[in-house]
Amino acid sequence: MTQTDLIIIGAGPGGYRAAEYAAKQGLKVVIFEGDEVGGTCLNVGCIPTKTFVHSASFDEARERLGQVVPQLRQGIEGILSTSNISLVRDKARFVDTQTVEASHTGEVWRGANIIIATGSETKLIPVQGLDDPRLVDSTGLLSLEKQPRRLCIIGAGVIGMEFASAFQRFGSEVTVIEFLKECLPALDSDIAKRLRKTLEKKGITFKMKTAVQNLADIDADVILMAAGRKPRTEGLNLEVLDITLAPNGAIPVNENYQLSTLNSQLSTVYAIGDVNGKQMLAHAAEMQAIHAVNHILGKNDSIRFDIMPAAIFTTPEAACVGASEDQLKEQGVPYECRKAFYRANGKALAMNESEGLLKLFSEPNAGKILGCHVFGAHSADLAQEASVLMCLGTTIEQLRDMVHIHPTLSEILFAAAES
């Protein structure tokens, strides 16, 4: 049995970030990964989809995918080969609260602390025809060697919308089927509707408020299942920890990402990233990793997990941080809403990107910023600036006094504050 300070199960964004940070703090780390390092995000998620989004054709996307992913993977391999980190290329399962064994070799490690960072996997909705050979998940779609002439996407969330936008641009005939009345439910409904209408004008067909019953009824060459993701816990042998998973399959944790919410004896076991189901975003996993390691070290931090920006890399982009107008109304929170349009921004017009809207929400009387939801070119950058301001408790009045470079798209945020 090998003793170490920290065991990490999974080398995705949360896992490798935890390993890197912990090692720099002097902890000896053992990290398990039974597949390629980088997790879903690097290998079949965030990076590949963005490579598709920023490619002009299907063939170019596939070629660039073969260049970008290995390069980034090599960088992570380098991080995990530094001193204080031992990479075990195998899956791990629990023996007890401080002990794991390698799934294939049976080798055993004991850690003072253990972090579960196994990520998530495609969630299949219960419909007839799941054995249809046309059905793929995002991994399968990225592996296609031939561009589909007709692509049907089940689900108008982030994954579905990004692929819909990319394949429509490649020239595929794209149809999106969504059970809800609007796409991207985390986004302000006004912004989401405008984005959907923009994509409809580009040629994407949306069938909203539609439930799929049988895949055989779908007229398409390829069907993408993009109805969400579920935490990946299979094979961890969590039974020995005597825990009960949440209804969505996630591992319940407390504010420090410990499993001690379930059992006081589990204070040395943590779960970060998609597997805890809190905020299924790569950057959320990375920051949860830092917070968990800080807690292990007894260090305080001021990470604001209640302020979590997110982006959807369609064409045009969409992004958000904080509450939407729908949520503020539902919660009965007093607010002011300010709007600014891309068509009134010099840089946007110069870029030929006049389609877009930013909504800025704040406390009454030009108080603190409560949220920012936007669609249009470089939306992610605008939401990121709003996120920084929110973390600092900035008011609309203070934002009005902040100089913004001219001409830039960031003036759209400034214009909203002045409205």
State the pLDDT at residue 63.
Answer: 93
Closest CA to 8 of 155, 119, 165: 119
Share of the chain above pLDDT 70, in %: 99
pLDDT tens sequence across 110-119: 999 999 999 9
**CATH class held by domain 2-121+230-297:** alpha beta
Mean pLDDT of 80-95: 96
pLDDT tens sequence across 382-408: 999 999 999 999 999 999 999 999 999
Determine the topology of domain 316-418 in CATH. Enolase-like; domain 1 (3.30.390)
Q: In this model, does residue 262 exceed pLDDT 70?
A: no
Closest CA to 118 of 6, 253, 250, 27: 250
Greater model confidence, 363 or 260: 363
State the pLDDT at residue 128.
Answer: 97
pLDDT tens sequence across 274-290: 999 999 999 999 999 99
Average pLDDT of the chain to the nearest whole number: 96
Residue 48: burial class (beta carbons within 10 Å; 0-12, 13-18, 19+): buried
Residue 58: burial class (beta carbons within 10 Å; 0-12, 13-18, 19+): buried
* pLDDT-derived band at 155, boundaries 50, 70, 90: very high
Domain boundaries, the chain: 2-121+230-297, 135-227, 316-418
Mean pLDDT of 292-314: 97
Helix/strand/coil percentages in the chain, nearest 5: 35, 20, 40
The active-site residue, picked from 104, 291, 378, 406, is 406
Mean pLDDT of 213-222: 97
Share of the chain above pLDDT 90, in %: 93
State the pLDDT at residue 389.
Answer: 98
295 is catalytic: no
pLDDT tens sequence across 197-211: 999 999 999 999 999
Determine the topology of domain 135-227 in CATH. FAD/NAD(P)-binding domain (3.50.50)
In this structure, are residues 49 and 61 in contact, taking their beta carbons and an 8 Å threshold? Answer: no
Burial 202-232 (b: 16+ CB within 10 A, else e): eebebeeeeebeebeebebebbbbbbbbbbb
Phi first, then psi: give them for residue 76, nearest 5 degrees.
-70, -40
State the pLDDT at residue 260.
Answer: 74
d(CA 286, CA 292): 10
Mean pLDDT of 168-185: 97
Identical fold at 2-121+230-297 and 135-227?
A: yes
* pLDDT-derived band at 152, boundaries 50, 70, 90: very high
Token pair belonging to 285: 């996993």
In 180-281, the DSSP E strands lie at 205-207, 222-225, 229-231, 269-271
* pLDDT-derived band at 177, boundaries 50, 70, 90: very high
pLDDT tens sequence across 22-53: 999 999 999 999 999 999 888 888 898 889 98
